A = this chain, B = another copy of it.
Amino acid sequence: MHTVSRFSLTSLKHPIVQAPMAGGPSTPALAAAVRQAGGLGFLGAGYKTVDAVREDIAALRALADGPFGVNLFAPPGPPGDAAAVERFASELSGEAQRYGTDLGTPRHDDDDWQAKLKLMRDLAVPVVSFTFGGPARGDVRDLQAAGCAVWITVTTPEEAARAAEAGPDALVVQGTEAGGHRATFDDAAPGDIGLLALLQMVIAVTDLPLVATGGIASGRGVAAVLAAGAAAAQIGTAFMLCPEAATAPAHREAIAAPGTTALTRAFTGRTARGIINRWLREHDADAPSAYPDVNHLTAKIRAAARSQGDPDGFHLWAGQAHTLAEPIPAGELVRRLADEARTALRAAAER
């Protein structure tokens, strides 16, 4: 087989990866700004049509040369408990009324998995990362043959060992601190391992390059994961206040304010970390593990609340260190994080 040269983390000027943030914040402009500053930008393909993903990639390529990544959601497992989804739907009818819209129809789909895999190959996307599980070994090989480096996101040492068997180029190691969805393969056991503990355990089971993610919001945080052995830090929430991000105004305000986060299935039927708000408090207890069914059920209501600027009616995804995010241009943030990380590492090494 002809060997295609694929993206390597060692080629980055700065060991900073912008996390894919599906459902809004990630934009071609954000990924381009990160790339131009010497980091690696990402697009989120989750929730989007194949055509929309294709357009995003074209837009990004028009804005910036060089490597970038696209994140795909692996297909969900078997459907959740239909009766529990039904009960949850009744519970949410008041929310639909409150925001003047309708409940969506719960549906168990695979986010157009095969078509998105094909798109990645056709466009030779430099890095394709996966959340909610890994692709099969054959899919990994096909992507790699098309020039795509494959990253699989893991949340436990057991997932790391399983993911490594598929032959990826790197693992994204997601600590419990991370905002948005837990990447866990099985939502029945979403886990709660902190990033630093997880990095040490994953390094003990694989030699693959590791991209650390979850609660990294400063140069010191970047320095810490590099010292722990990661090849790069992947950062999400800290980019959400950048002007290039499409974060909703009410979401920006919540990120900047003091506030506690929690893991919940209340918004999408799959465990994710968000800032505690009314919806989370009222619906967390009854939310079933049923993704993407519940996501479809609640999508219109959440979109309505978001456009009405009500932070109590939609998912305020955020990592645990969200209060450290700053509203500065993404390129400036990349450079600042890299500089501060270098300074922190030098200071610690010289002690």
Contact = CB atoms under 8 A, between A and B. Distances in A.
Contacts of A288: none
Interface string A284-320: 0000000000000000000000000000000000011
Contact of A200 (B204, B218, B227): B218
A336 B173 CA distance: 25
Contacts of A215: 193-194, 196-197, 200
A223 B351 CA distance: 11
A345 B348 CA distance: 7
A283 B229 CA distance: 39
A201 interface: yes
A33 B176 CA distance: 34
A227 B177 contact: no
Contacts of A76: none
Given A194-B194, A194-B195, A228 B220 contact: yes
Interface string A183-208: 00000000111111111110110000
B217 A321 contact: no
A204 to B, nearest CB: 6
Contacts of A216: 196-197, 200
A224 interface: yes
Nearest to A344: B227
A156 to B, nearest CB: 8
A75 to B, nearest CB: 25
B227 A193 contact: no
Interface residues of A, number: 46
Contact of A193 (B201, B224, B320): B320
A310 B297 CA distance: 47
A107 interface: no
Contact of A349 (B197, B203, B214, B349): B349
Contact of A227 (B15, B227, B321): B227
Contact of A201 (B196, B203, B321): B321
Contacts of A225: 196, 224
A157 B258 CA distance: 10
24 contacts: A176-B194, A177-B193, A191-B260, A193-B320, A194-B320, A195-B195, A195-B197, A196-B214, A196-B224, A196-B225, A197-B215, A197-B216, A197-B319, A197-B320, A198-B320, A199-B220, A199-B224, A200-B215, A200-B324, A203-B220, A224-B225, A226-B351, A227-B348, A348-B349
Given A203-B218, A345-B349, 18 more contacts: A175-B194, A176-B192, A176-B194, A177-B193, A192-B192, A193-B320, A194-B195, A195-B197, A196-B221, A200-B215, A200-B321, A203-B220, A204-B218, A220-B227, A221-B228, A224-B224, A224-B225, A228-B344
